[in-house]
Structure 1
Amino acid sequence: MVYWKDLFSDLPSAKPAWNLLMMRYRFPSHLKLCFILFSLASASLLAAEKPNEKPNIIVIVSDDTGYNEFSMNGSNPLFPTPRIDSIASNGVRFTNGYVSGTVCSPTRAGLLTGRYQNRFGHEYNVPPVYSEDNGLSLKETTIADVLKSADYRTIALGKWHLGYAPKFHPMERGFTDYYGFLQGARSYLPLKKPSVLNRLLRDREPVAEKFDYMTDELGRAAADYIAKSKDKPFFIYLAYNATHGPNEATESDLVTVKGGGGNEKHRAMTLALDRSVGIVLDELQKQSLTDNTLIFFVNDNGGVAGHDNTPLRGFKGSTWEGGTRVPFAIQWPAVLPKGKVLDAPVISLDIFPTAMAAAGVTTSPPQPLDGVNLLPYMLDPTKDRPHQTLYWKNGNKWAVRDGDLKAVSGNSEPTAVKVKNVKNGNPSNEVLLFDLSKDISESNNLAASRPEDVDRLKNLYTEWKKDFPTPTWGGETKKEE
């Protein structure tokens, strides 16, 4: 028997288009089916005329910004982020979006490999000193490796923080181009005497620092790349250092936010971040690329202390929600619904397989991915959650989320932080249990009343980490309880 979809099977992009259509639509009538088949045939024929009609892919990562400093997440009027919010309003927002690390470098390692970074010893931040050994494991395949092999032009922009030796350089990890700095933090202003680790590089060579403000510069660099990348699909990994310290803002942004209350430098830095994202979105629109560009937006970890993480408990570095839950939005106007909100937990590890599926790449990397392709879940509201269980580990600090229950341990806090049903303050080795569907702030410990669930989640965690190697470089050395 010959199926209609087989008639177009050897046309470029036909199979990915068919699969996406089958996920997005239901067929209550033969008329609707015929319409979709006609649309598919038309799209496939167009793709045959334009063999490079794979989607462009952009991954945008902000740095250390508070959960409530994005207006898509909260109601803080001091931090309006309309351009970032537009990614959610023009696509899908995940209310339970997570990253796999509690600090900068591990999250990046997980995102770019689609695998829990603990599996290959990348548990802590790469130390800020030159080393031939410390960096993203050379045994791991990156999303850039995969997309480059699929004929994408690939660029990393901004913060790298995955190793300083030449073998760890972005252009050795699948990126055809690079413009940014290798260290985890640097000034937002031009440096007269930059160090080897924080100097600005174009590809592998240092360049004169003639920009005004790094956040704006990275947005302009991304826009320039978009304008010059019409010959083939592109993948942009845009990793801002905003709003990581040092707290530096332009005078004009400080004037704009002055007098409104709150930390004015944080507000000014967030204003610049949102503006820079807008530069990228505007260039896509200018080049008529918006519809066929898949955009992901996440923050790299929970907000650092001093930022507004309301209503989450904890900050960067902890396995509380405040250390790992982040804004998470995806836009692809040609395929995804507009303004959809999903409550199922997702994680930054999912970016790799989702991008791979969108690009029509069917050959999996040698190492198995922990992430899940999110396209079916965004297109079909009847699908179950992508993940039943998620894990976090940063030395002695760990957490497991299974369904809506979360076990968390190792996060010492001042006794002033109140949690119901916790004795003796909050001993760092105590395992606490929360129902996140009712208690996003992790304020009501259920461990005493649900000991079986505590044991079950502890066992899940123990099984998950049993084969992990010793972290490749140091961090917390306290033995796990």
Structure 2
Amino acid sequence: MSPHTPALSRRALGGAAVAAVAVAGVGAMALDAQAASPRETPFRANAGRRSRRPNILFILGDDLGWADLSSYGAPHIKTPNLDRLARQGVRFTDAYSGSATCSPTRFSLYTGRYPGRTKGGLAEPIADRSDGLDPNHPTLASLLRGAGYSTALIGKWHCGYLPDYSPTRSGWDEFFGNFGGALEYYSKLGLSGEYDLYEGDAEYKDLRYYTRILTERASEYVSRDHGDKPWLLNLNFTTPHWPWIADGDEEESAEVVRRIKAGDRRALFHNDGGSVEKYTEMVQDLDRSVGEVLKALKESGQEQDTLVFFASDNGGERFSFNWPLSGNKASLQEGGIRVPTIVRWPARIDGGQVSHEPVFTPDWTATLLEIGGARADKTYPLDGTSLAGYLLRGEELAERALFWRVRGERAVRRGDWKYYRGKGGTDQLFNLAADRREQADRAPDEPKLLAELKAVWEKTDAELLPYPA
């Protein structure tokens, strides 16, 4: 946004104020992720660089909170590999998921469209076999494959079940992972007690800790000789999603499995398990795993020409560190949709930078299609805006409205302003540059702006499929 210079300085001032509080002794606020750290500078594209089409390594954590990385402010979680990735690329402070839960965000990534444009995207999240991503709908993978990419998805799919839905029916050449929204990390049992680890469309038996298996598979994929073809790898970890079982917790795993087999349909939710310490262990394991994959990528000689993207699929769960945001997963408050997001492409993007641009999941679909030389299908127009001009050519990103809808909640962000209606039914307005915690409702002071943003939301909502009764 060209009115960016003042916006950035406002945020910088806000960061300085938070830092001052930290000095006063509030350790949780010791790092304000809205302000550039001493090693980061405000983002500026290096328009003089040129390169071939990149490989794309798109990594998702699962239910990882906005401030769960040490580079985003976590005082008790150490994530050196992801922090290094951020130092080598761009760390986004105002990046959002496409929805507040798992499968709708994945729909928005794979289609580049609002989840409510497709029947399967209305499930929040998919919990049975009746919904899924229509194999006839173009996807990030199918469009890039049509442009010459090899494609693979390793990890969590959560966009429908066999026999009707599968990554291999939606544009990915290879699939290794789980179909459902959650699984027990050792046994691979899902919510209904079914075994849920597949290679392609066939069951694959491996009872080791799931994060280790995915890390091995991804490391092997990025190490391959792909010839002259660029590749897309969607690497979807389930870490740190419940159940709260870390590598080595075999006794806890056995107890959860016993309950699943006894018919306890809520055993995987693990409501009586977990802790901040266990969650920390899982996040740090995710960081180590990402580090292993990045090491394999570097050793393969492809690091310079690979665009690496890391984010979470939605906001954090009950053990996440989300300060100073309010809300968490399933909510359209900031804590439910603002997510840590890092982009690195050494051949084209300078490192050590921070961007405060508001962006969300469908933008990355449009961006990767443009960078990969693929075109969207005009029958299924994208809802995201390509960021390629901003990232690579120094173009200003025009102000636009980011839209979200979940059952019982609505939200729009435009510039620094956010319109929000929660389940209580009250329309609220927040200035996020001054109030990321969404505590100072400005609706009474800005009735015209409130009405404007509400109208934006309602116009977009009218274009989407209605929720089933």
CA distance in structure 2 between the aligned counterparts of 1:387 and 1:277, rounded to whole angstroms:
33
**One of 89, 108, 114 as aligned partner of 2:112:** 114
Question: 1:461 is matched with which residue: 438, 457, 463?
Answer: 457
TM-score scaled by structure 1?
A: 0.79
Change over 3 Å in CA distance of 1:55–1:193 after alignment to 2: closer
> What pairs up with 1:246-257 in 2 under 5 angstroms?
246-251=243-248
1:162-177 mapped onto 2 (5 Å cutoff): 162-177=159-174
Please list the CA deviations of residues 181-235 of structure 1 after superposition, one character each: whole Å capped at 9, or x if unmatched.
Answer: 1010001113489978542101111111142x21122111101111224222211
- Choose which of 72, 75, 78 in structure 1 pairs with 2:76: 78
Distance 1:87 1:371 in 2: 25
Instruction: Kindly indicate whether residue 447 of structure 2 is the aligned counterpart of residue 451 of structure 1.
Output: yes
Could you tell me which amino acid in structure 2 is paired with residue 57 of structure 1? I
1:126 CA displacement: 4.5
Distance 1:268 1:235 in 2: 29
Which of the numbers 229, 234, 245 marks the counterpart of 1:237? 234
How far residue 178 of structure 1 moved from its aligned partner, in angstroms, is: 0.5
Deviations 1:262-281 (A, max 9, x none): 71110111111001101110
Instruction: Using the TM superposition, give the Cα deviation of residue 375 of structure 1 relative to its aligned residue in structure 2, in angstroms.
Output: 2.1
AA partner of residue 274 (structure 1)? D
Aligned CA distance change for structure 1 residues 115 and 191 (closer, same or farther; 3 Å): closer
Task: Output aligned runs, 1:49-68, within 5 Å.
Answer: 54-68=53-67
> 2:387·2:397 contact (CA, 8 Å) conserved in 1?
no
Following superposition, the deviation at residue 237 of structure 1 comes to 0.5
RMSD: 2.4
- Note the C-alpha offset of 1:455: 1.0
Per the alignment, residue 402 of structure 1 pairs with: 414
- The 1:108–1:198 alpha-carbon spacing in structure 2 relative to 1, beyond 3 Å, is farther
1:419-434 equivalences in 2 (<5 Å) = 428-434=424-430
CA distance in 1, matches of 2:240, 2:193: 22
How do residues 281-300 of structure 1 correspond to structure 2 at under 5 angstroms?
281-300=294-313
1:87 is displaced (CA, Å) by: 2.4
Give the C-alpha shift of residue 386 in structure 1: 4.9
Q: Secondary structure at the match of 1:157?
A: strand
Aligned length: 401
Task: Find out whether 1:156 has 2:153 as its counterpart.
Answer: yes
Per the alignment, in what secondary structure is the counterpart of residue 154 of structure 1?
Answer: strand
Unaligned ranges ≥5, structure 2: 1-44, 252-274
The one-letter amino acid paired with 1:72 is S
Within-5 A mapping of 1:222-371: 222-231=218-227, 232-251=229-248, 263-362=276-375, 364=377, 366-371=379-384
Judged with a 3 Å threshold, the aligned counterparts in structure 2 of structure 1 residues 125 and 238 are, in CA distance, closer, same or farther, namely same
| Contact 1:181/1:199 (<8 A) preserved | yes
Question: Percentage identity across aligned positions?
Answer: 33
Task: Please state how far the C-alpha of 1:84 moved relative to its aligned partner.
Answer: 1.6
Work out whether residues 153 and 235 of structure 1, in 8 Å CA contact, stay in contact via their aligned partners in 2: yes
Query: Normalising to structure 2: TM-score of the pair?
Result: 0.81
Q: For 2:211, what is the secondary structure of its paired residue?
A: helix
In structure 2, what is the Cα distance between the partners aligned to 1:167 and 1:157? 19
For the 8 Å contact 1:181–1:197, the answer to whether it is kept is no
After the TM superposition, which parts of structure 1 deviate over 6 Å for at least 4 consecutive aligned residues? 192-196
Does structure 1 residue 142 correspond to structure 2 residue 164?
no
Structure 1 residue ranges without an equivalent (≥5):
1-22, 26-35, 44-52, 255-261, 412-427
- CA deviation after TM superposition for structure 1 residue 77, in Å: 2.7
Whether the 8 Å CA contact 2:124–2:406 is kept in 1: the answer is: no
